[in-house]
Amino acid sequence: MTNSYTGINTSEQSTTPDFFYSLDRPLHSLPDRSQVSAVNLYRFPELVSRLGGNYRDILERHSINPEILTTDNRFIDCQPFVDMLEYCSSRLNDPLFGLHLASIQDAEIYGCVSVLSKSAPTVHQGLVDLIEFLPVVHSPESVLELVEGVSTSELRWTEHSDFGLNDQADGQGLLLNLNLLRSLAGKDFVPDYVNVSVSSYQKAGNDIEKAIACPVRASRERSCIAFPTALLYQPSINTNNPLYHLLKGYLERLKHCKKPGLLNKVNEFISAGLLCNEVTIDACANQLGLSPRILQMRLKSMNVTYSDLLARHRLQRAKSKLRHSDLSIAEIADLLGYAERTSFGRAFKQWTGLTPQQFRKQH
């Protein structure tokens, strides 16, 4: 096979004036490394309940806040997500749990990237755009590749990191990608074959073949959907030129946005949280789509702890209030989330060597 496309934009540039795309800020939050959109859990509670499980218990067991299911544009850490799908497959006795989850979802799981791909002028361009922009707004872990052959081409996918056993996440991705291809080529589209992991094939190869109605092969190298190369250059059945160029312009800008690092995000959370006394590490981790343990591990790799960052913000806020306000020491302590004035006093003296009263007098 030749001509490998790995996210390079080969479409014509839009000549639409820039003012059509003017926005003060992105409409999307963007995922960090090793994160995936929480929309991948769409209808997860429904499937778990149908199989006799308790979805809240399962989410909490894997350090995923159940409230994330009701919040738009949030992200979760990939490792607990992958582990949770494998746990559901085993615990709920469903070897095709990931595939069954995708069967009650659809390609819209990929959000505006699905809309962009479907509105592209050709099947080929729709897949190239999927490859380029899915890592931008859905998960940076996504690695997709379109490999063209003379008669047969493959849409391949994997992930940057090694998450261990991930048969269920791979099954979900298989059906979501297949549904997207059908939305480009028509609902009657049938692959020539699909590749799945050896462990998936050994456990449920015949059932996968029945579910997607095409030959299934075991592979140690890659997951893929294969189809006739001639299909690539057919017009997309949902092509929409104005919508395509509007979304393409927006996603191009998102792609080149500088993402705030984890440290900046934590500092932003603490700064805002101090205004409403909501600065626990659990609340911060939930906001960032991480478990508290993983958040602490990532901060530790930067030689800092959450309590260090919180203390710095409290010190800065305390100094400002002592210098520039007439608030009492007790009011400042309450403003910074301390249950008692004495606790604030001890912490402040540890930071500065002065009591709050001494600091105020000197400044």
Query: Looking at the predicted structure, is the pLDDT value of residue 21 above 70?
Result: no
Domain ranges of the chain: 2-6+23-255, 262-362
What DSSP string describes 186-248?
-TT---SEEEEEHHHHHHHHHHHHHHHTS-EEEESS-EEEEEEGGGGGSBPTT--HHHHHHHH
Compute φ and ψ for 183, nearest 5 degrees.
-70, -20
Query: Looking at the predicted structure, is the pLDDT value of residue 321 above 70?
Result: yes
| Token representation of residue 166 | 């991930």
Residues 3-23 have a mean pLDDT of 50
**Residue 10: its pLDDT value, please?**
42
5's enclosing H/E stretch is strand 2-5
Nearest to 85 by CA among 119, 121, 105, 61: 61
CB 255 within 8 A of CB 181: no
Query: Looking at the predicted structure, is the pLDDT value of residue 15 above 60?
Result: no
Query: Looking at the predicted structure, is the pLDDT value of residue 204 above 80?
Result: yes
High-pLDDT (> 70) share of the chain, %: 92
**Residue 8: its pLDDT value, please?**
43
Which pLDDT tens digit goes with each residue over 336-345? 888 788 888 8
Compute φ and ψ for 28, nearest 5 degrees.
-115, 145
**Residue 3: its pLDDT value, please?**
56
**Residue 257 CB neighbour total at 10 angstroms:** 12
Identify each DSSP E strand in 42-175 by its residue range.
Answer: 75-77, 142-148, 152-159
Under 8 Å CB-to-CB from 202, ≥6 apart: which residues?
Answer: 218
Which pLDDT tens digit goes with each residue over 135-191? 999 999 989 999 999 999 999 999 888 888 899 999 999 999 999 999 999 988 999
CB 181 within 8 A of CB 107: no
Q: Which CATH architecture has domain 262-362?
A: Orthogonal Bundle (1.10)
Compute φ and ψ for 150, nearest 5 degrees.
-65, -45
CA–CA separation, 28 and 30 (whole Å): 6
Buried b (16+ CB within 10 A) or exposed e, 293-319: ebbbebbeeeeeebeebbeebbbebbb
Which pLDDT tens digit goes with each residue over 228-274? 999 999 999 999 999 999 999 999 988 988 767 788 888 888 888 88
**Residue 113: its pLDDT value, please?**
96
- Scan for tokens 């995000």, then name that residue: 265
Which pLDDT tens digit goes with each residue over 29-84? 888 888 899 999 999 999 999 999 999 999 999 988 898 888 778 899 899 999 99
Residues 93-108 have a mean pLDDT of 92
CA–CA separation, 314 and 299 (whole Å): 18
